[in-house]
Homo-oligomer: A and B are copies of this chain.
Amino acid sequence: MFWKPQNLQQCLRRLYSSSSCLAPTIKQILNNGQIPAKTVVHGWVKSIRRQKKATFIAVNDGSTLEGMQAVFLHPNGNVSDTISNVSTGTSVRLIGELIQSPGRGQEKELRVEEVVIFGLCDPLRYPIQKKDHSLEFLREHMHLRPRTSAIAAMLRVRGKLTQYFNDWYQNDGFIYVHPPVLTSNDCEGAGEAYQVMTQAKGIREEFPLFLTTSTQLHLEALTSSFTRVFTIAPSFRAERSQTNRHLNEFWMLEAEINFLEKGLSDVCNVLEASLKTVLGKLIMDEDVRYLREQGHLTEKQFQYWLNHSIPWTRVSYTQAIERLQEHHLSGRQPYFEFESPKWGQAFRSEHERWIAATMGANAQPGPVFVTDYPRNLKPFYMSVNEDIPEGATVACFDLLVPKLGELVGGSMRESREEKLSESLRLFGMSEPPLYIGNQFVVP
């Protein structure tokens, strides 16, 4: 008496092998060693080349960078009406035989026997053409821009990156948690958080709730139960700056670790190992190759930076300041727009880029950990170093990378009650009730 879908029985074998019954994507078809008698391809036409004996169509379903070349032979020189109607952007189902491609540029191609057109596309009104479009132009066509190679590659890489970071952190004993987005916490500097309100049915209500700017405080609490936690989650800043380094909404990986045996160097080791492993897994990916070439980076550079046996440079803030001043005094290029900073001053972006361009491993461009910044440049909760003069620096790092500058920041959190109280006084902050280690402390 129940409705039994007819295809369920046929699907059982595939269900049993734990994948769904969906028709394979172009990526799955091209990666499949066995070639079935009939191949079905769905997708959108990316470009068309009409010749006398055949029409060549590049069709993509978004699963790969290049898509599939489909070939329509013209028997006796006749071109069918269906093929004549196809234009860039048309959505189609193609059925045919997958063969070794006699042409260059692709290993396999589809010799099409049957075409179903789902949606025709007016070539005069369809904005995405084969040529490269500017990002500004594409921003006006948000719903279609993932059909371009650059945006599609970026989004696919983003998905893979997220997954690979998840894998790495979970394999290394980190618990993957989801701290709240709506929170009454703020983190490092007020006035930048969005607040939430409702105005349903004309009734207006404001709540003492903000969109998270960082999950750090929740992760710190969770690390007191789980030892190692991480999250990949959205963060929000009510930024007014329109630069390529300011976003109102972005996803961020954050991690907190308890019981470190070697302090800050443990933190740097975790970060270096995770970045090298995750990016190393992606280095041969076709989307990453495409994006790397757009960014004028060679594969050799990538391989060098991600080599597990070439440690990334670790240099203290104090040493980096000395190097910047040496460079400034030498009179050599590049010249800085802003003066070289003195001890106690923050780096400008140009100084950070110079450090990554010159102080990587073997004095080559490369990632550089700059550690132990002056206490006044960093938030109150960072652990004070026992250096000379005592309390001048904190145990923290910024990871600087070529072209971008700061990619990651981190620190040891201060766990000594007297040092934390001292920092609160130094930073002119009132002392709230504090919870330290396993003790409640009400100053």
A-side interface residues toward B, CB under 8 Å? 1-5, 7-8, 11-12, 14-16, 18-25, 27-28, 40, 42-44, 61-63, 89-91, 93, 118-122, 125-126, 142-144, 146-147, 152, 155-156, 158-160, 162-163, 166-168, 170-173, 175-178, 180-182, 190-201, 206, 211, 221-222, 224-228, 233-234, 236, 238, 248-249, 251, 257-262, 265-266, 268-270, 272-274, 276-277, 280, 308-309, 311, 313-316, 319, 359, 371, 435-440
Copies of this chain present in the complex amount to 2
The reply to whether B172 and A20 form a contact with Cβ atoms under 8 Å apart is yes
Q: List 23 A-B contacts (CB under 8 A).
A: A4-B311, A5-B269, A8-B269, A12-B308, A12-B309, A15-B269, A15-B273, A18-B168, A21-B270, A23-B259, A43-B259, A63-B228, A93-B259, A120-B438, A121-B438, A121-B439, A144-B224, A146-B226, A181-B236, A182-B248, A191-B201, A195-B197, A233-B234
- A194 in contact with B197 (CB, 8 Å): yes
Measured in the bound complex, the distance between the Cα atoms of B93 and A215 in whole Å is 27
Summarize A's interface: helix, strand, loop or mixed: mixed
- CB-CB under 8 A from A222, the residues of chain B are 146, 155
| Residue picked from A43, A227, A438, most chain B C-beta under 10 Å | A438
* A5-B268, A42-B258, A93-B259 given; 18 more Cβ-contact pairs under 8 Å: A2-B313, A3-B315, A18-B276, A18-B277, A22-B260, A27-B173, A61-B226, A62-B227, A89-B438, A91-B437, A142-B221, A155-B177, A159-B170, A163-B167, A178-B251, A198-B238, A200-B238, A211-B211
Once bound together, how far apart are the Cα atoms of A110 and B168, in whole Å? 28
Q: Kindly list the 5 A-B residue pairs having the minimum CB-CB distance in the complex, ordered from nearest.
A: A119-B437, A159-B176, A62-B226, A146-B225, A42-B259
What chain B residues lie within 8 Å of A171 (beta carbons)? 19
Residues from chain B with a CB closer than 8 A to the CB of A156 are 175
- Identify the interface centre among A7, A28, A126, A159: most chain B CB within 10 Å of its CB: A159
The one of B15, B21, B225, B439 in contact with A122, judged by C-beta atoms closer than 8 angstroms, is: B439
Residues of B near A166 (CB, < 8 A) are: 162-163, 166
CB distance A147 to B225 under 8 Å? yes
Q: Are A23 and B315 in contact (CB under 8 A)?
A: no
Question: Nearest residue in B to A217 (C-beta to C-beta)?
Answer: B143
Contacts of A147 in B (CB 8 A): 224-225
User: Known: A166-B166, A225-B62. Is A269-B11 also a contact (CB below 8 A)?
Assistant: yes
Residue from B191, B248, B274 in contact with A20 in the complex, judged by beta carbons closer than 8 Å: B274
Is B121's CB under 8 angstroms from A173's CB?
A: no
Per the bound structure, the CA–CA distance linking A271 and B231 in Å amounts to 25
CB <8 Å contact, B5 and A273: no
Identify the closest chain B residue to A166 (Cβ): B163
Q: Which chain B residues lie closer than 8 Å to A181 at the CB level? A: 181, 234, 236, 249
